Amino acid sequence: MKEKILKYTGTENLAQIIERICFFVIGFVMSFAKIAGMFSPFCISFSMSLPKKWSMFSFLGGIFGVIVCFNSFNGEVYICALTIGMILKIFFDFKSTFWNAIFSIISFGIPNIISMLIHPVGFGTIIMIYSETILIGSFTVLFKFSLKNMNIKIRKTSDLIGLSIIVIAVLISFCNLNFANFNFGRFLAAVLVIQAAILIGVTGGAAVGIIGTIGLALFTKDFAIIGAIVTVSGFMAGIFKPVGKAIQAIAFIGTYLLGCGFFGGLSINSFIEVFIASCIAYLVPIDIFQGIIEKNGIKNFNFTINGDMALKLQFTAKALLDLQNNIQECAKKMDKMSYKDISDIYVKTANDVCKNCGLRTFCWITSYNETMRSLNKVSNILRQNGKIVQENLPIFLKQKCCKLDSLIQSINLGYRDFICKEQTSRRINEARSIATEQFTGMSDLLMEMSKELSDFEKIDSETTNIVQNILKDRGIEYSGISCILDKFDHLTIDLYLDELPSKNEIRAMVETISEYIGRQIELPTIIKANKSYKISFFEIASLSVDFAVMQTLPNGNSCCGDSYDFFMDGKGFAHMLLSDGMGNGSRAAVDSLMTCSTMRRLIQTGFGFNSTLKLLNLSFAIKSKEESLATIDTCTIDLYTGQTKFIKAGATSSYVIRRGKVTEFGCTSLPIGIIQGINFDSKELKLSKGDVIVMVTDGATSSGTEWISSELKLIYNQNANEIAKTIIDSAKRRSDPKHTDDITVLVSKVV
C-alpha cells in the first residue's frame, strides 16, 4: 500500500503516516462487519493476517470501533480478543499462514473460555462460539492469501479471488452503517456494480454484482433479493456500454425498479440509494479509473503487442536465413559458371599462339599425349616458380615448338591472370563466408530477442512510478527507467544514468525499493557503455552461487594464457566463463582475454549465447592476418529454477557433483577462430543447493582426468575456495615438468 500512497504524496514520511491511518480506518470499519447479525470475525482475521508493522494500527482501529458500538453483541470479548491478538503479534510475528490462523483462534478463544467459566452458557451458545472461532481462523487464511501481495494487482485468478474476499468483508462492514434508513452497504454495492458495468461492460457488471450479492446475503438474508436485483441491473447496464454512460445509468435504475416491482420490497430508501449510485457513476469521469484499467488490463494488451513483435522478429530472422541460403545458392551457380582451372591457360595459348602455326597438326593431333605430358610438367614449374623460362621447359617443347618465345610469354601472362582470379575468388569466398556468418548471427540475435520479448508478461508502470519518486527524493538524475515482469512474475528494473551513484547510495536504493514495492531486490549489476551506465536490479532468487578461482603459471611466464570471468546478469542468471588462448604467454593471454571480455559485454548487453558465440567466432576470423584461436567454456545457472546450461568450444571437460556423484562433460567441437559456421557442444541439467561445478583448462588435465573425479568425491562438501585450491595443487603435482602449461580451476557451488 505504501507505494500507492508514495506515488501521490511524493514524500516518504507523509506516506508512512497516511499508510498507518489507512490501516487504522480499515480495522475500525471491519469491526462493524457481522455475518447474519451474530458473528464478527473480520477485524480479528484481517489484523492477524497483516505483517506486524501494519497489524498494530489495524488492531487499534478495531478496538476503537468495538468501543464506539459497545452495545453490540459480546463487545468486551472482542476487545479482549483484539488486545490479545495485538500482543501475540508483537512477540510472535509468524509469516506462515498456518500460524497466523492458529494465533487468531487462540486470541479469540481465550476470552471466550474465560467468559464461559465466569458466566456459564448453554450448549447452543457454545456451538455458536465454536463456529465463530472456526470462521475467524478460516478468514485469517483467506485474508492472508488475499493480501499476500499488498499492491493488489490483478495478475492472475488467485489475486482476483483475494480482492473479492476483501470487497465482501468491506460490504458487510458498511451494511452495519445506517443514516435515516439509508444503508451504506447496499449503496456501496450499487456504486461498485454500476461503475463496473460502465468501465468493463456486461462481464464486469455481472461479476461485481455476484460478489456484492454474496456480501449482502452474508449480512442478512433480507438483503439477498436486493443483491440479486442489483446484479441483473448491472448486467443490463453493461449491455448498453456502447451507447454511453447516461443510457447505462437509466438502464440500471429502470431494471432495478422492474425487479423490485416483480419481487416486491421496493422502498423509497433503496431507490434513493440506487439513484444516487447511478448519478455518481454518471458524473465521475472515466479517466479517474483509466489507470486501474490499464494496470490490470495491460497484461493482455502487452501480451498481444509482445506476441506480435515476437512473431515479427521471428519472421525477420527466418527471412535473413532465407537470404543467406539464396546467397549461397547463387554463389554455387556463379562458381560453376566461372569455374577456371590451370588447363584453361593452355587452351587460350593454343588459340593465340598455335592457331596459325604449321606444326599445329603435329603437336595437337599426332603427338597430343606427349604435348599434354609436357604441359603438365609446365604446370608444376608454374606452381613452384610463378613463371617459366626457356631453360626449364620440357625437352619436347624445346625441340618441337617453333614459336617458343611466344609460347612462354602467353603461358606466363595466362598464369598471372589465373593467379589473380584465384586469389580474388578466395577473397570473395572468405567475404561470402563472413557475410553468411553475419546473417546467421543476426538471425540468431533476432530469434533470441523474440524469445526474450515473448517472456515479458507486462510493463510494471506502478513500480516505475515508485522508483521515479525514490530517485527524485534522492536527487538522482536518470535518462530512463524500465520495470518489466516476465511470465514467471520475476521483476527486472533497469535504470539508465549518465552519472553513477556511490556504492552506499546504490545500497540504500536497493533497501528503499525493496521496502516500497514489497519484493526483495538483489544488489544490481552495472554496465558502462561509452559515458552512460545501465543499472539492473532483479529479485533475490532462491539460490545463490559461491565462486572461487585458482591459477598457476609455468616457470618463467609473466602472464597467463588463460582468462576467466564470473558475474550475475539482470535476469537472475549466474554466468561463468573460461577461455584458454592458443599456446601460452602474452599472445594466448590476448586471445583468451578478448574472448571473456567480449562475451561478458555482449551477454550483459542482452545478447544470447548463440549469437554471442557466433559474433565472437567472426571477430577472431577478421581481427588479424595471423591465425588466432581460443577455447570457450561457459556455464549459466538460472538462480530461480536451478536449470543450468554448459556450452563448449574446444574446451576440456567440466565436472558436476550432485549428491556426491560426479558427472563429466566432455567436448568434441573445435576452438573458435579456426573455421566459420562452427558448432558448439551444449549440455543442460538442473542443480540444487550443495551441488558443485568445476571448470578447468587443459593444463590441469595433462596427466589425465580420472584423478579429478576421484578427488572431487572426497572434497565436494568443502567450500568453493577449498575445492579450487585442492584441485590446482593436485594438478601441479601431477603435471610433467618438461611440458608445463597454464592451469586455471574455476569452481561454483550452489548455496
Instruction: Give the pLDDT confidence of 372-389 residue by residue, as tens digits.
Output: 888 888 888 887 888 888
Q: What is the pLDDT of residues 53-84, one digit of tens each?
A: 778 888 888 888 878 765 445 678 888 888 88
* Strand residue runs (E) in 478-584: 480-486, 491-497, 525-529, 532-538, 545-552, 562-568, 573-580
| Comparison of pLDDT for 313 and 31, the residue scoring more | 31
Which helix (H) or strand (E) segment holds residue 745: the answer is strand 743-750
Give the H or E element holding residue 686. Answer: strand 681-686
The predicted structure's pLDDT at residue 304? 41
CA 428 to chain centre: 41
Mean pLDDT lowest for which of 160-164, 346-350, 440-444? Answer: 440-444
What does the pLDDT average to over 260-282? 77
**Per-residue pLDDT for 123 more than 80?**
no
The whole-angstrom separation of Cα 373 and Cα 393 is 12
Find the mean pLDDT for residues 227-237.
Answer: 84
Cβ–Cβ < 8 Å for 44, 32: no
- Indicate the angle between helix axes 157-175 and 202-219, nearest 10 degrees: 50
Question: Which residues are within 8 A (CB) of 400 and not within 5 positions of it... i.e. 6 or more apart?
Answer: 359, 362, 363, 367
Q: Cβ distance 218 to 40 under 8 Å?
A: no
Whether the per-residue pLDDT at 507 is higher than 70: the answer is yes
Cell triple for residue 159?
A: 489475486
Mean pLDDT of 150-168: 56
Q: Which amino acid is at 77?
A: V
Look up cell 548487453; give the residue.
605
52-87 burial by CB neighbour count: b if 16+ within 10 A, else e? Answer: eebbbbbbbbbbebbeeeeebebbebbbbbbbbbbe
Q: Which range (223-232, 613-622, 677-686, 713-722) has the least confidence?
A: 613-622
Short-list 466, 494, 490, 457, CA closest to 479: 494
Cell of 321: 536465413
Q: Are 502 and 509 in contact (CB under 8 A)?
A: no
* pLDDT beyond 70 at 334: no
Say which CATH class 545-750 falls into.
alpha beta
- What percent of the chain is predicted at pLDDT more than 70? 74
Contacts of range 290-298, beta carbons closer than 8 Å, 24 or more positions apart: 293/199, 293/200, 294/461, 295/153, 295/461, 295/462, 296/153, 296/154, 298/458, 298/459, 298/461
Residue 312 is predicted with a pLDDT of: 47
Phi, psi (degrees; rounded to nearest 5) at 645: -130, 135
Q: What share of the chain is helix, strand, coil (3-state, %, to 5)?
A: 60, 15, 25
Beta strands in 502-626 (DSSP E): 525-529, 532-538, 545-552, 562-568, 573-580
Cβ-contact 33, 70 below 8 angstroms: no
pLDDT score, position 656: 92
What per-residue confidence (pLDDT) applies to 149?
47
Residue that has been written with the C-alpha cell 452474508 in this structure:
218
Residue 749: the pLDDT is: 92
CA distance 609 to 606: 10
Per-residue pLDDT averaged across 179-192, rounded?
84
Q: How far, in Å, are 438, 632, 697, 698 from residue 650 at the CA level?
A: 22, 7, 10, 10
pLDDT above 60: residue 139: yes
DSSP-based three-state secondary structure for 522:
coil
Grid cell at residue 687:
542443480
CATH code for the structural domain at 460-538: 3.30.980
CA 618 to chain CA mean position, Å: 28
Question: pLDDT band at residue 249, thresholds of 50, 70 and 90?
Answer: confident
Please give the average per-residue pLDDT across 486-505, as a whole number. 81
Relative orientation angle of helices 12-30 and 157-175, to the nearest 10 degrees: 60
Q: What backbone phi and psi angles, to 5 degrees, belong to 738?
A: -85, -20
Confidence of residue 748 (pLDDT cuts 50, 70, 90): very high
Q: Is the confidence at residue 30, as pLDDT, over 90?
A: no
| Amino acid at the residue 222 | D
In this predicted structure, the answer to whether residue 235 has a pLDDT above a threshold of 80 is: yes
pTM for this predicted structure: 0.44
Q: Which of 658, 598, 605 lies closest to 634 in space, CA to CA?
A: 598
- Counting residues of the chain whose pLDDT is more than 90, the rounded percentage is 3
Domain map (residue ranges) of the chain: 1-155, 177-284, 301-455, 460-538, 545-750
pLDDT of residue 739: 63
Indicate whether 732 pLDDT > 80.
yes
Task: Identify the three-state secondary structure at position 427.
Answer: helix
pLDDT of residue 747: 92
For the record, the C-alpha cell of 693 comes out as 561445478
Q: Grid coordinates 556504492 are at which residue? A: 503
Which among 95, 59, 267, 99 is positioned nearest to 183, based on CA atoms?
A: 267
Task: Give, as one character, the DSSP assignment of residue 660.
Answer: T
Higher-confidence residue of 553 and 673: namely 553
Q: Specify the residue for cell string 454518471.
A: 282
| Amino acid in the structure at residue 458 | K
Q: What is the DSSP string of 689-703?
A: TT-EEEEE-GGGGTT
Residue 632: what pLDDT?
85
- Measured from the Cβ of residue 502, the count of other Cβ atoms closer than 10 Å reads 8
In this structure, what C-alpha cell is assigned to residue 322? 532465407
